[in-house]
Structure 1
Amino acid sequence: MNFEYSEKVQQLLSQVIDFMEEHVYPNEQLMHEQVEQDRWSTPPLLQALKAKAKAKGLWNLFLPISYGEYSAGLTNLEYAPLAEEMGKVFWAPEVFNCAAPDTGNMEVLAKYGNDEQKKRWLAPLLAGEIRSAFAMTESEVASSDATNIETRIERDGDDYVINGRKFYISGACRKQCEIMIVMGKTDPDNSNRYIQQSQVLVPMNTPGVNVIRPMKVFGYEDAPEGHAEIVFDNVRVPKENIILGEGRGFEIAQGRLGPGRIHHCMRSIGAAQRALDMMCKRVNERIVFGQPMIKQQSVREDIAMSACQIEQARLMTLKAAQMMDTQGNKAAKELIAMIKIVAPNMALDVLDRAIQIHGAVGVSQDTFLAHMYAGQRTLRLADGPDQVHMMQLGRDLAKRFASA
């Protein structure tokens, strides 16, 4: 294992850090103010910063394949330190066109889409001209098992007709969201539960697409992105909107989730690192019981343990990324599962310590800590809950000894 970054990556990392220092951190409050003025539309500030990042070539850094002018063609390992830096601010990934769910949707279209789908939807997503959503989760079934999904996608002549209810569909509340990838069942009676599902492209302005409400996350609406509840009422789209073909939905989902999961983990490490940096700064500035807070033994232990946990998670993430690059996502699935279990829990530990050290301000709107804590807690459910990853990982590890 060699985790030394190439000259190209070091240069990009330096550029991303400089961009964050110059344009992102100083504008966190202004971004909040602009969101409050028009909650479900991309703020002017964000549009301006996207243009600046694009002009500097800090654009679509997540995409592991070259795609014309729109991609740097970085590997997962090369992208990791860049994603970590972006993870230090909630909205920063979008500045570089590296925000979920667009990243996953772009990867799906690049890998599985046909030429017309790429032209119609992938090109404007890569250009940052539109936003997108991925509609899989449902409230009426345990969506951690994707085979439970009940939304129907039925063929009717030259169209598909979609009926069902989805919720926590991130990005679908935003006015600039123009396209969804919707997962549902085209063959619900098939004896093979893994080929019952398909994925289809559904423009947001299609009749019958009803955004009911923004779901909250620990009280946060996460505007302008939002997490929509959507009812599909006889939504009709052309048969050409199917991705890859009927029965391929589960296959597409599995291809999408590996990179998506590790990207989340990369950003979790960035969030935890920022929290640790804030802890170190605060304990040198605050005076408690007549001396700097850093003099307290428990504070030193919190800082030390946080640093250890962050570095452990960082190294595991890099190892998983390298295996994805060299042996493929399937070969790396155990490491991806491990880091998806470890990273959000690690970030929660570090954020909790940072909140405690910051006292009342730690749970307020005056730092990023409380909102980021809510986001990291939610990440233990997103892209598969901890229990599913542990169940499958434990099964696969023990299976090696079954014959003995």
Structure 2
Amino acid sequence: MLFQTIHTSGTTIYFVFFILFYWISHIPRTNPGAGWWACAILSAAIARLLLLILSNNGDIQLTIFSYSTFLILEKIFLVIGISRFLKVNLWNHWVFYLAGICSCWMLLAWYTAMPLWIYSIGLAVFNVVVLGFVTVVCFIKRNEVSQRLMLVVSVVCGLLVLHWATFPSIFFFPTWKVIGFGVGTLLVLVQYLGLLASVLLQFQKRLLDAEEKALELAYRDPLTGLNNKHYLSNLFEQALLLATRPHQLLAVIYIDLDNFKPINDSAGHKTGDEVLKEVAKRLKEYTRSTDISARIGGDEFIVIATQLDHIDQINTIANKLLQQLTREIQVDDNTYVLGASIGISFYPAHGDNLASLIEAADEAMYHVKRSGKNGYVVYGENMSLKE
């Protein structure tokens, strides 16, 4: 009765695992190992079901042969799944040759009516070799997915190696038959549970990576890698907290590139994109770590200068930016020279929110444009151009 209970429970749980692996394997871009493990656990379930059904007909050799055949299939699918999941570039045909040798051995033993304990040696050796391979691979590749999970799978497979090494003993010690199958069922369940958890963990990592990429696309300018206009509002709120500290100022620097359109028109948009990338690179290099740089349009950029100790400090920052943005830019052995019209506004003197500060800085920038370009001016300071 206990023997039947173990196999009935094992068969049922194996089928549940099959459904889970099968479902996960059909999720787009899931690692192909999951599909092979679905085939493996299904083969193990069928093996247990056949053992349960055929054990009542009295033909023990047919029972063992049927059980062994599906166990061999399980191990083939298990090895292929491990190789695909962990991207092991090994020659996997050895498992087919070994399975063929084991099958021939079992057929020979069946037709020659060998003692069952000799018959079972071939199956035991096959399982020991295959599970030993899985043990080693999971240990070596333990850092590919999850070190803990792969170590668990490796240890369980190692225990299954020892378990199968004792398999022929069930024909000498009948009491070990029930215990042995019970222990084997438990170890196989833990093994596939570890593999299932590894697939789910990889799936979770893929979702997190996709979310991170989506956030990156939402908050970053795809061409330059700078913050975009959408994210600038969020960053401004954080910068505002610093500006409210005693003796700390905040400035919005609006930059519009001069002479950029002719480059786009004459050299093409590809060259224009490379020029914009170089401009963004210089903004990153020559602004402070506490400043915020963003691209808000085709050739328009904003720098939020935070933690300013006094108003005159903006002159140093603006001069440095102007100097860097007017340096020659090399693209494909060609040299291009830009200018920059820069307008500046201060919080809270020129506005208490980002929109009003950008509007003031934008007006100051257009004053520079109308006054001959290539300079900077602070909004409201009689709009006197500084170069």
Q: TM-score, normalised by structure 1?
A: 0.23
Structure whose CA Rg is larger: 2
Structure with the larger RCO, 1 or 2 (CA within 8 Å, 6+ apart) = 1
Q: TM-score, normalised by structure 2?
A: 0.24
